[in-house]
Amino acid sequence: MYAVRAVAIAGFILSVAIHVIVLTTDASDDWVYVLIVGFFALLPVCIAAIYAQERLTVELRRTWCDFLQLRLLGRGYREAVEANAPLWLRRTTYALLAYALISFAFFAYEVYPDRQPGKEDARRLMSAFLVTFWAFATLVLTSYLRTQRPIRPDEIRSRRG
């Protein structure tokens, strides 16, 4: 799992570099292929992150009611997954999520209803979401590797205050 986290960190750093290049230069059509490769490289890392996420929340899913509260209401789920990730990584990940969503809103506002999206707009949006997905995978894997055992519901309640 340490190797997968190292790949996730490297992918995150490379995706940030790609996003900066796409934003600052007049990127050619070849950058679309680089972005697609970035998304395909993300797939095995996301599979490992999903496994880690399930392992981190195993104590929270004992009964069907716990599962419904966890998935539908989100009570304790995010805290359990992110509990042992560094604060700077959590803040960076959520800032990137906000950035990607704002980029999508601007993209939709510029394009809808009377204009076709340009290649440059699509590349910028794809690279913003690529960075966000790599950040979330890095967040989950880092939290998993810093955890000795799954977190119990009473520990989450005590962390909330």
pLDDT (tens digit per residue) in 1-13: 678 888 888 888 8
Residues 105, 110: Cα–Cα separation, whole Å: 9
CA-based nearest residue to 45, from 93, 11, 18, 78: 11
Q: What is the pLDDT of residue 95?
A: 94
Q: Is 24 exposed, middle or buried (0-12, 13-18, 19+ CB in 10 A)?
A: exposed
Pure H helices in the chain: 2-24, 30-56, 64-68, 77-82, 87-111, 119-145, 153-160
Residues 45, 140: Cα–Cα separation, whole Å: 10
Query: What are the structural domain ranges in the chain?
Result: 2-160
Residues 52, 80: Cα–Cα separation, whole Å: 11
Bigger pLDDT: 105 vs 30: 105
Mean pLDDT along residues 103-114: 82
